């Protein structure tokens, strides 16, 4: 996973890959959480393996492709990753979940798959840690997870995820959470990231910088919602070799729609098969309809929109919360 991406290859992407500085939005403001919450830089200095990007961090609101009648907000060109801690508003369960928004490793769906998720989790007594991980806004090849630029992009995000897990465990008492009840939840590309950190936690991809990097970065559980990049296209249900599942991979919950035309159910199925073959407790929920990138928004009365309630109950079955909790 720590294969490096050469500057020559990166420059070639700018020239031939269809990405140019002209495509950057005119908005250049840095994303900010709602009042009362503060972004925390996860690295004390420059992040490891820093790469050039097409422009400054930008916040973009899509008012045309509405989801459940609402616009969506994306963040691009993230080079300084941060985490934002949202404390539980319900009865504190001691559980914390680090949330990885999706966006194809080109942007972050910061509200649909980020802040709105934190609103749900905190109302359930769960501390939410929203990770704004690095996305260089360069094209990620969805059909192959073995090319150099894919390696570079996923390495940056996994470094940020590993670092964040260590920080949350180090500050568990401060955040009022149990250091043995810290999980991850990710959507789409973020769903791939939950699999990466669930299977690549024994060794940091970067040189340790402080006490946080002495803490385990293994999640205690993982939730993947319409995950991508897990299936090696056209080869049965072969799993992406960058997510080496073992018996020590944490319990995992997966949900996806059969009419997902972006990732497709083979992503979840391939990962689920690998989990079961390794003896890892896992649940896979497939629905006929739902598409992709629905987040928590109820666009219809389709059964798939009930997935948060299923996660809530599943957390009880694996001992993270009270089994009787509704």
pLDDT (tens digit per residue) in 248-283 = 999 999 999 999 988 889 999 999 999 999 999 999
Strand 182-187 vs strand 222-225: parallel, antiparallel, or unpaired? Answer: parallel
Domain positions in the chain: 60-317
* pLDDT, tens only, 129-186: 999 999 976 555 544 444 444 556 678 999 999 999 999 999 999 999 999 999 999 9
- pTM, to two decimals: 0.88
The residues, any chain, with a CB within 8 Å of residue 256's CB and separated by 6 or more, are 225, 226, 227, 263, 265, 267, 268, 285, 286, 287, 290
Superfamily of chain region 60-317: Alpha/Beta hydrolase fold, catalytic domain (3.40.50.1820)
Angstrom distance (rounded) from CA 45 to CA 174? 23
The secondary structure of residue 115, as a DSSP letter, is I
Mean pLDDT value of segment 239-245: 95
């Amino acid at each position: 996973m720590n294969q490096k991406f050469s500057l020559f290859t990166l420059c070639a992407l700018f020239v031939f890959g269809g990405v140019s500085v002209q495509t950057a939005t005119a908005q250049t403001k840095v994303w900010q959480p709602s009042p009362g919450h503060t972004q925390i830089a996860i690295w004390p200095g420059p992040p490891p393996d820093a790469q050039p990007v097409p422009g400054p961090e930008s916040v973009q609101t899509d008012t045309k492709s509405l989801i459940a009648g609402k616009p969506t907000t994306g963040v691009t060109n993230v080079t300084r990753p941060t985490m934002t801690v949202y404390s539980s508003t319900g009865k504190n369960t001691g559980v914390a979940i680090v949330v990885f928004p999706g966006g194809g490793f080109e942007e972050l769906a910061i509200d649909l798959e980020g802040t709105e998720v934190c609103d749900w989790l905190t109302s359930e007594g769960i501390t939410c840690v929203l990770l704004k991980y690095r996305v260089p806004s360069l094209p990620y090849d969805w059909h192959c997870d073995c090319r150099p630029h894919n390696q570079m992009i996923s390495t940056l995000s996994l470094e940020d995820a590993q670092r964040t897990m260590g920080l949350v465990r180090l500050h568990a008492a401060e955040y009022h959470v149990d250091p043995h009840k810290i999980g991850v939840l990710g959507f789409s590309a973020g769903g791939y990231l939950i699999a990466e950190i669930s299977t690549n936690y024994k060794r940091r991809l970067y040189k340790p910088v402080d006490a946080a990097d002495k803490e385990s970065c293994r999640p205690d559980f993982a939730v993947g919602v319409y995950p991508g990049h897990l299936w090696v296209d056209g080869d049965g249900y072969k799993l992406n070799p960058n997510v080496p599942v073992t018996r020590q991979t944490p319990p995992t919950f997966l949900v996806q729609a059969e009419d997902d035309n972006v990732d497709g159910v083979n992503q979840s199925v391939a990962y689920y098969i690998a989990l079961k073959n390794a003896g890892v407790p896992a649940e896979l929920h497939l629905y006929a309809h739902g598409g992709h990138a629905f987040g928590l928004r109820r666009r219809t009365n389709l059964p798939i929109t009930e997935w948060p309630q299923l996660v809530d109950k599943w957390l009880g079955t694996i001992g993270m919360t009270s089994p009787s909790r509704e």
